Amino acid sequence: MNSDFSENNELNEDGDLYEHYRIVVDKGQSLVRIDKFLMDRIPNATRNKVQQGIEAESVKVNDKVVKSSYKIKPLDVITVSLPEPPRDTEVIPENIPLNIVYEDNELLVINKPAGMVVHPAYQNWTGTLVNALAYHFQNLPTTQNGEGRPGLVHRIDKDTSGLMVVAKTELAMAHLARQFYDHSIERTYYAMVWGEVNPPEGTVNVNLGRSPKDRRVVAAFPDSDIGRHAVTHYKTLKALRYISLVQCNLETGRTHQIRAHMQYLGHPLFNDETYGGNRILKGTTFTKYKQFVENCFKLLPRQALHAKSLGFQHPKTRQWMQFDSALPEDFLSVLEKWEKYVNTQD
């Protein structure tokens, strides 16, 4: 049954939260946990996101804080309040160049530059990949809930470069989304990490979830049921004493998966500020070496991660499609600098 569902742009009485949703539960609603109820009614809301919001006291029932296990009752008034103001999901088309690697009637593959946000969100409403897609392509399909992310079936972080596939039809959207869900998509990333990984090849099978200390960070939970199942297969391609070039293949696709898994192994990505890779973690503290590393940071002002290859079944022809991309200039130049540095030390 449908519930009375509305959105509001008003500041609440505390002056620092905006009411995003107000839901009056239908008279005939059966008893159900509030996290499950909200997951079905808020666009793009996963159960984990809803539970985090409830834990952060962003969700109230009849003006009272509740737990995720609370069972809603008919005529309950549920409010969801967040720090940022609600935004219209309308996407503004922007003439932003796209590096299109492949295109046909069903899909396109692009090589996203580092620094480009994939979809509009708080503090990044313009200049995103979605704004560019809206300009260059008409009537791209959206996700099932209709949220303004035309053509997107996956994403990569703002400061990660590399390959993405974009759906141009409803058929492609559904078929590609299913492949991501089934983990049949092949995704290979190149990462530059601190130190030499031991063993040089292996698999990280450790749950990942938002850190309770900092919600912007994804933490590893190796010995508990907290977080979501996450699997990364890695292989060292170049061991350069102070840093290594590592190939990572994703079996699952969790937020910050490679960045969090490599930090868990004790090898954060080079210049990854969020996960501690933006300081010297291997080598001496001598001035000359310190200056060399800082110069590398300036050349590569982001985490050293590139989505290098992408493989999937074409949604219409059912043929296997495989794409590969070169390392971007910033990544490659720093890798070459490290190779030269190590060679001069031998």
Count of CB atoms situated within 10 Å of the CB of 69: 10
Pairing mode of beta strands 320-324, 64-65:
unpaired
Among candidate residues 16, 35, 63, 157, the one labeled active-site is 157
How far is residue 261 from each of residues 5, 218, 274, measured CA to CA in Å? 39, 9, 13
How far apart, in Å, are the Cα atoms of 309 and each of 26, 107, 153, 163, 225? 48, 16, 16, 7, 32
Question: Would you call 4 helix, strand, or coil by DSSP?
Answer: strand
Phi, psi of 329 (to 5 degrees): -60, -40
DSSP codes of every residue in 72-115: E-TT-EEEEEESSPP---PPPP------EEEE-SSEEEEEEPTT
Number of Cβ within a 10 Å radius of residue 123: 7
- 157 catalytically annotated: yes
Residues composing the chain: 346
Angle separating helix axes 329-345 and 287-299, nearest 10 degrees: 160
Please identify every residue annotated as catalytic. Answer: 157
